[in-house]
Structure 1
Amino acid sequence: MTPHSTHTADRILGGWLGRIAGNMLGKPVERGDYWTRARIDRYLRLTGALPLTDYLPEPPAATDGFELRPEWRHCVRGRISGSCRDDDVDYAILGLHLLETHGFAFTTEEVGELWLLRLPYLQTFTAERAAYRNLANGLRPPLTATFENPYQEWIGALIRADIFGWTNPGDPHRAAALARRDAVLSHTGNGVYGAMWAAALIAAAFTASGPRAALEAALERVPASSRLARTVRHTLALHAAGAAWEDTLTAMDEETGRLGWIHAVPNAAVITAGLLYGDGDFTRTITLTVRGGLDTDSNGATAGSVAGVLCGAGGIGRQWTEPLEDTVRSAVFGFDGVRITELAHRTARLVVG
């Protein structure tokens, strides 16, 4: 490999590690209507984990009022042995398989075909489950996204977008275009814009001077008048004005909270704030993002992916990577137990191939 390609490969590995670690960090408290920012911080104070610099601690015995997700035993510090299975990682793997199978000229119909071939129906949720059902019933895009699907602007397409950023370093325009082609299988409006924004953000992170520059570049790839773009711009403005992280999130919650905790728009604000106030530090970025609440595992994964690209694999602390044991659990047929380093190598090969 040339020095340039070696550098890119390290950043791609950083993106994969960051997505998986951020997802694992947020998974025990993934339920935004219950695990509010205040409740998450109460839990961290109770367990002596503020400031948060590692995976969540396990709950003390006989603690009321802090009901973690059932998977918590495999996602808290001291208990992790490889990554937990989660759709936030499954879709990154499926996206890699899509590009390896069909190349960058893939069609939306081919995305749907791979879902039916490789992804179990009961491991899909919200908009993806509606689209999967529509595919199985013979509908074709874009009807798969609109027929009996009340989740069209939720976060699902956003969490599928990383692979398009990782494989287009420094080219947010192409990354966003590919993400859109994937997203319209199951989403419309801000649900699609969220995917375009996330892909562009990750692509921009390869060459940006820092999080703000990457966020500003990503904004150019979505309609300026969209709710998502206006929300991200407002978050950027609050940070630039010197508002504290907590005050920024309170202001954005007042503006977007009625949309619900799985909608793409309020979650984009949490991701944006985590990246800005994390200021390029991997640990600070993913811990602030998860402490921001809402869809914690998805937000931690996306912020971790961006931060991992910005700092490279070498910039991620060992407390995040060593418990993963270079192993991914996945529901995607043929990929359970795959090595993280193998996924990163295959992704890098698409860039230089």
Structure 2
Amino acid sequence: MTPSGMPTEPTEPRKNPRTADRILGGWLGRIAGNMLGKPVERGDYWTRERIDRYLRLTGALPLTDYLPEPTPDVVRTAEFELRPEWRQCVRGRIHGSCRDDDIDYSILGLHLLETHGFGFTTEQVGELWLLRLPYLQTFTAERVAYRNLTAGLKPPLTATYDNPYQEWIGALIRADVFGWTCPGDPRRAASLARRDAVLSHTGNGVYGAMWAAATTAAAFTAADAREALETALGSIPASSRLARTVRRTTALYDSGLPWADTLTAMEEETGRLGWIHTVPNAAVITAGLLYGGGDFTTTIALTVRGGLDTDSNGATAGSVAGVLCGASGIPPQWTQPLEDRVRSAVFGFDGARIGELADRTARLAAAAPGGATPR
């Protein structure tokens, strides 16, 4: 009430400019990392060795920009099969981001929080999928969950019925928005991510989402990626295979082992799980963040060169690195080609401005209860 007794107008929570810059950095980093990895997304074909051979033949090592398009010599060898969308996401051809589910789910998560608030239910996540997300733009565990929803099943059966993909990477790629909206509060971010993830995943599939959200949230207050990763481990079961994999990757980094040797060791330990499983991809993301040494370009370049689910891994590592350095710290070769535009299959969001999405995310972060004050 005012002194005169008249009710006051509701006021919008005040955004912290530094936090807003970091949230924009997360969005830009996620999109740039996704675009970098998209042409070589297919881990059973695009191995680390094949990716680096392509980069050498096209004169792109060290990798400091988006992937180059194949030269005539490379085309003649017929040795490389880029993803069909490669013409929209190689250097010199990018005009805004191309559509990808790694970005669709960030947008859908933002819409979820704007529509239902931080108290959303898993059932509401499913309802929003049916309303806003085309079925044919879902894959693996998400497509199974979508089909189960249309058959009338409710969570957690949507995740477990006839679903061989329960521990694959799909829930992890949906998690960043929960970290962006809980800056400095990794446990709360992980709790939100879990509520979303159990619609389609179980076990390490759920822990992967919690870990990604917690790492992203921790990056707002952490001194570096190492601290963010270590803090995030407190939000998932210490005995889980995911937690053990992240700790093992970190231990190899601490021992002074070169990046490539660390990934070789982790591949020997986790490779049998498959290239879309959460656990081996978490090792690639962890290594990229650690060996990236705080440099945005090095982080996403190493992560994508690490292979497996390259676009998803590049997106997650790019998000964390973007939060750590802020939008103002991301080199322009990554952001300028995006032209502040994002393509999306989410109804009502195709062609949205990245800056507007980030601003809406920052408003949610400012309104969120609790959390630490980002530095």
TM-score (norm 2): 0.93
Task: Find 2:292's aligned residue among 251, 267, 278.
Answer: 278
What is the Cα deviation at residue 64 of structure 1? Answer: 1.6
SS at match of 1:135: helix
Say whether the 8 Å CA contact 2:13–2:366 is kept in structure 1: no
Say whether the 8 Å CA contact 2:15–2:366 is kept in structure 1: no
Q: Which residue of 1 aligns with 2:16?
A: 5
Task: Find 2:85's aligned residue among 50, 56, 71.
Answer: 71
What is the Cα deviation at residue 63 of structure 1? Answer: 3.4
Distance 1:141 1:343 in 2: 29
Distance 2:225 2:336 in 1: 25
Distance 2:108 2:304 in 1: 24
SS at match of 1:202: helix
SS at match of 2:352: coil
What is the Cα deviation at residue 58 of structure 1? Answer: 0.2
Distance 2:181 2:306 in 1: 29
1:317 is aligned to 2:331: yes
Q: Which residue of 1 aligns with 2:48?
A: 37
Q: Which residue of 2 aligns with 1:49?
A: 60
1:245 is aligned to 2:259: yes
Kindly report structure 1 stretches of 4+ aligned residues shifted beyond 6 Å: 1-4
Q: Which residue of 2 aligns with 1:59?
A: 70
What is the Cα deviation at residue 65 of structure 1? Answer: 1.0
Distance 2:213 2:175 in 1: 5
Q: Which residue of 2 aligns with 1:16?
A: 27
Distance 2:26 2:161 in 1: 34
Q: Which residue of 1 aligns with 2:6?
A: none
Whichever residue aligns with residue 59 of structure 2, its letter is G
Say whether the 8 Å CA contact 2:15–2:363 is kept in structure 1: no
Q: Which residue of 1 aligns with 2:100?
A: 86
Distance 2:180 2:13 in 1: 18
Q: Which residue of 2 aligns with 1:157?
A: 171
Q: Which residue of 1 aligns with 2:8?
A: none
Distance 1:295 1:278 in 2: 18
1:291 is aligned to 2:305: yes
Q: What do residues 283-322 of structure 1 show as CA deviations (whole Å, max 9, x unaligned)?
A: 0000000000000000000000000000000110100000
Task: Find 1:96's aligned residue among 110, 113, 118.
Answer: 110
Whichever residue aligns with residue 101 of structure 2, its letter is D
Q: What do residues 202-223 of structure 1 show as CA deviations (whole Å, max 9, x unaligned)?
A: 0000000001000000111110
Whichever residue aligns with residue 233 of structure 1, its letter is R
Structure 1 residues 4 and 349, CA gap change in structure 2 (3 angstroms): closer
What is the Cα deviation at residue 4 of structure 1? Answer: 7.4
SS at match of 1:182: helix
* Structure 1 residue ranges without an equivalent (≥5): none
Distance 1:156 1:170 in 2: 24
Q: What do residues 177-203 of structure 1 show as CA deviations (whole Å, max 9, x unaligned)?
A: 000000000000000000000000000
Q: Which residue of 1 aligns with 2:239?
A: 225
Q: Which residue of 1 aligns with 2:373?
A: none
Distance 1:316 1:66 in 2: 30
Q: What do residues 325-344 of structure 1 show as CA deviations (whole Å, max 9, x unaligned)?
A: 00000000000000000000
What is the Cα deviation at residue 60 of structure 1? Answer: 1.3
Task: Find 2:214's aligned residue among 169, 193, 200.
Answer: 200
TM-score (norm 1): 0.99
* Structure 2 residue ranges without an equivalent (≥5): 1-11, 368-375
Distance 1:141 1:273 in 2: 34
Distance 1:142 1:264 in 2: 19
Q: Which residue of 1 aligns with 2:138?
A: 124
Q: What do residues 21-43 of structure 1 show as CA deviations (whole Å, max 9, x unaligned)?
A: 00000000000000000000000
Distance 2:346 2:273 in 1: 30
Q: Which residue of 2 aligns with 1:335?
A: 349
Distance 1:2 1:220 in 2: 29
Whichever residue aligns with residue 209 of structure 1, its letter is A
RMSD: 1.1
Say whether the 8 Å CA contact 2:187–2:235 is kept in structure 1: yes
Whichever residue aligns with residue 44 of structure 1, its letter is L
SS at match of 1:320: helix
SS at match of 1:170: coil
Whichever residue aligns with residue 20 of structure 2, its letter is A
Q: What do residues 241-263 of structure 1 show as CA deviations (whole Å, max 9, x unaligned)?
A: 10000000000000000000000
Structure 1 residues 133 and 318, CA gap change in structure 2 (3 angstroms): same
1:352 is aligned to 2:366: yes
Q: What do residues 110-153 of structure 1 show as CA deviations (whole Å, max 9, x unaligned)?
A: 00000000000000000000000000000000000000100000
Q: Which residue of 1 aligns with 2:370?
A: none
Whichever residue aligns with residue 21 of structure 2, its letter is D
